[in-house]
Amino acid sequence: MARAFQKELKKPDEFVSFWTRFGKVIADHRRKVIVLIVTVALIVGTAWGVTWFRGEQAAKATAAFARIERIATADLLPDKPDDKAKPAKSEKTTEDDQVPRFKTEKERLEAASKEADAFVAAFGSEGLGRKALLGKAGRLLALGQPAEAARIYETLAAGETDANLRAVEQEGAAAASEAAGKLDDALRAYTQLADSQHGSTFYLDRALFAKARILEQQGKGKEAEQVLRDILSKVPKTPLRQQIDDRLAVLAEK
């Protein structure tokens, strides 16, 4: 019994001895330990800071992109305001959230395009920046600036990884060439778009319908008619069926 009691007494001494030795090691390597602690703290702090910054940037980018859309869809000022009409109560907004109103569609399109430029300058041309540029290209077409629109569409299509979005961008570039009167370039672009579908019907009927339209403008009615019939055979359930039938009827009369 006495020996067992002595054994139990040694255990606390061993525990104290361990922490004494551990403390001595820490003291002997105090500088290294401090450096290690500081390094770990910096790594954790930097990681947290980067995460927070990215979150803040993402929130700002989302708000800035939404502002482009609000400007693009802002109400136009009435030609002749009714003096008798009571002004509607407006919701309270911050100065940054206020969207100007425009007299004409042209002013609104130009303002949205400038806002898209500001967005890309602040947040870059990737992610939402690509969507901002895509919207700008469409507005440039509406503003009668097909050359600039084509440049943006072609740049976006060249770096696009999503096949469906690439088709949208390729169609935009083709439409820009058509709007500029470059029918040969437009015909080539629509043909390439149709060929790029690789068995998919996504955009196939639209590309071929546009190709037929260009051929008809070039006075190639027979070729246009054949392209229209190709749509009906390749995409039997095309939503363009009524328009195709109408064009075929017109071409048959020529």
CA proximity to 157, closest of 175, 143, 142: 175
Closest to 20 in 3D by CA, of 12, 219, 213: 12
Residue 224 tokens read as 């246009």
In this prediction, residues 50-61 reach a mean pLDDT of: 63
Identify the burial level of 89 via C-beta atoms within 10 angstroms of its C-beta, where 0-12 means exposed, 13-18 middle and 19 or more buried: exposed
What span, in angstroms and rounded, lies between the C-alpha atoms of 218 and 251? 13
* Across 70-87, average pLDDT: 72
What is the mean predicted confidence (pLDDT) over 137-147? 95
Structure tokens at 204: 């196939």
Q: Are 174 and 190 in contact (CB under 8 A)?
A: yes
Closest CA to 116 of 159, 72, 77, 150: 72
Phi-psi region of 119 (alpha: psi -120 to 50; beta: other; left: phi over 0): alpha
Evaluate whether 133 touches 118 at the Cβ level (below 8 Å). no
The crossing angle, in degrees rounded to 10, of helices 146-158 and 163-179 is 160
Whether residue 103 is predicted with pLDDT greater than 70 in this model: the reply is yes
Query: For residue 196, which of 184, 214, 208 has the smallest C-alpha distance?
Result: 208
- pLDDT tens readout for residues 21-51: 555 555 555 555 455 554 554 454 444 444 4
φ/ψ of 76, rounded to 5, equals -85, 150
* 3-class SS letters over 41-60: HHHHHHHHHHHHHHHHHHHH
Average pLDDT, the chain: 80
Task: Supply the pLDDT for residue 100.
Answer: 85
**Cα maximum dimension of the chain:** 122
pLDDT, residue 247, reads 94
pLDDT at 202: 77
Question: Each residue of 182-231: pLDDT tens digit?
Answer: 999 999 999 999 998 876 777 899 999 999 999 999 999 999 999 999 99
pLDDT score at 9: 46
pTM above the 0.75 mark? no
Average of per-residue pLDDT across 164-174: 92
Spatial contact of 185 and 177, defined as CB atoms under 8 Å apart:
yes
Q: Compute the C-alpha angle 94/98/99, nearest 5°.
A: 165
Q: What is the pLDDT of residue 78?
A: 86
Q: Which residue has the higher pLDDT, 69 or 35?
A: 69
Torsion angles phi and psi, residue 8, rounded to 5: -65, -35
